[in-house]
Structure 1
Amino acid sequence: MQPQEVARGSYEVFTVRVPSETKDTHTVEVRVAVPDGVNITRTEPKPGWTTELEREDNRIVSVAWKAEGEGLADTEFAEFRMQGRVADDATELVWRAYQTYADGSLAEWIGAPDTGSPMPASLTKVVEGAAQSDGHSHGGASTDAGTPAGESPANAGEASGNADAAAGETPEQGSELAGTSNFSKVTLGIAILAVVLAALALLVVMMRGRKA
């Protein structure tokens, strides 16, 4: 069963990986008992297989997948998925599974985990942690905290770097910029004065011409 570790209160997609291990026959049914520490609410449709849910007190307590065809040969495997929420007080999830073959034999994966049992149940560890998304957007992109929506962390970092560079400008650089600005103002003033003097000179010449 995957994942092997989940957080309390989180929404998870659990994957049952089933190899068919008996020669000369096929796996035709897989049934998984749902542990008390998780509330399964959905299953993923599997082409070629039907899904049956067993409920008690309106809670899904087991999920069975049954082959519509001949099932899985001994060289094949399949993955079956279901979704649910881990309980806030869960400590571990022990998944007991029952694998039925076309010849009528039954493999019961119900042994205590981590004890050397030849057919152990699958164990999912439960740890402290904040609940994740509700599972409606698996695989969706997430952004770092503090990064505006639609802006990648890289762009945000570049903008921050530019701001830091501006904030880190030295006094010498500031003085140089101020001196350049003052020089430009003086140059502009001289140019304006030259234009005014030229206009006055032209006016004097015109007045003298009229007197003559």
Structure 2
Amino acid sequence: MKMKHRMFRIGTVVLAAAVGALALASPASAHVRSGGSPLPHGGYGIVELVVPGESDGAETIGLTVTIPEEVNLTSARTQPVPGWTANVEREQTGGAERISRIVWTATDPAGGYGVGEYQVFSFSAGPWPEDAESVALPSDQSYTDGSVVSWNEVAVDESSEPEHPAPEVALVAAAGDHGDGHGTSSSDGVSEHHDAAATSDDSNRVWQAISVVSLILAVAAVAGLGVVLRRGRGAGS
């Protein structure tokens, strides 16, 4: 009886390890997040939003990014995404015009993407605030089944993690003059875009590696549980 009880306890530990390993394969990186470089205070820069598909029964066909009211962007340009249209919306405020929203829409529902896939939506804009460390960009992700997931929550402190966090871009001190006010110089813009893309790719490769390792650990743990249970039955007989 003691042997059976011990085997049961070992099996429980192994099973818990398998569950934990599988949990690692579904990290918070599945949320919409910013994959770009920090933006300059009072300047212009490129924002990249990495948007994974998360609905098992529908595909992503739209993304709407809302620019907070306190962020007065006067210029924004989107990077083309094959099969998608982009619309930069503006509004009048205080006698001036500001960017209020940027909306990406798949031209055909068949051009959407599902679970296990992601799309990068990027835009160059400015000027960004001079007195903030970061800017949250509430985003609404639309699916073919008509559902919309709002990524619009901001953590109240470093220890909390919202269920639907808004992607955030970091702001840093400007390195120098940003030219004509419509973006970084040509070489800087290209360099920043490549750095942001590399950051996104590196992040996704890391999580893919973690997922593979986690799956291997889970399979090994389940196999170990089977061995433990068979030995338990053998000892009991």
Task: Give 1:112's aligned amino acid.
Answer: V
Alignment match, 2:184: 135
Q: Please tell me whether residue 65 in structure 1 is matched to residue 104 in structure 2.
A: yes
Check whether the contact 1:51–1:65 (CA below 8 A) recurs between aligned residues. Answer: yes
Q: Which has the larger radius of gyration?
A: 1
Alignment match, 2:53: 20
Alignment match, 2:84: 49
Cα deviation, residue 38, structure 1? 5.4
Cα deviation, residue 132, structure 1? 5.5
Cα deviation, residue 112, structure 1? 1.2
SS at match of 1:14: strand
Q: How many residues align?
A: 140
Check whether the contact 1:29–1:65 (CA below 8 A) recurs between aligned residues. Answer: yes
Q: 1:132 to 1:14 in 2, by over 3 A?
A: farther
SS at match of 1:130: coil
* CA-atom RMSD in angstroms: 2.0
SS at match of 1:139: helix
Alignment match, 1:116: 161
Alignment match, 1:126: 171
Cα deviation, residue 29, structure 1? 0.6
- 2-structure distance, mates of 1:77, 1:91: 27
- 1-structure distance, mates of 2:177, 2:120: 23
Normalising by structure 1, we get a TM-score of 0.60
Cα deviation, residue 10, structure 1? 2.6
Alignment match, 2:25: none
- 2-structure distance, mates of 1:68, 1:29: 10
Q: Please tell me whether residue 79 in structure 1 is matched to residue 126 in structure 2.
A: no
Which is worse superposed, 22-31 or 110-119? 110-119
Alignment match, 1:31: 64
- 2-structure distance, mates of 1:24, 1:33: 26
Correspondence 1:82-101 to 2 at 5 A: 82-85=123-126, 86-101=128-143
Normalising by structure 2, we get a TM-score of 0.54
> Which stretches of structure 1, 4 residues or longer, exceed 4 Å deviation after superposition?
none
As a proportion of its length, which structure holds more strand? 1
Check whether the contact 2:49–2:167 (CA below 8 A) recurs between aligned residues. Answer: no
Q: Give the alignment partner of residue 9 of structure 1, picking from 42, 48, 51.
A: 42
Q: Which ranges of structure 1 fall in alignment gaps of 5 or more residues?
A: 141-212
Q: 1:132 to 1:122 in 2, by over 3 A?
A: farther
Task: Give 2:77's aligned amino acid.
Answer: R
Q: Which ranges of structure 2 fall in alignment gaps of 5 or more residues?
A: 1-33, 192-237
What percentage of aligned pairs have identical amino acids?
27
Cα deviation, residue 126, structure 1? 2.0
Alignment match, 2:232: none
Check whether the contact 2:78–2:123 (CA below 8 A) recurs between aligned residues. Answer: yes
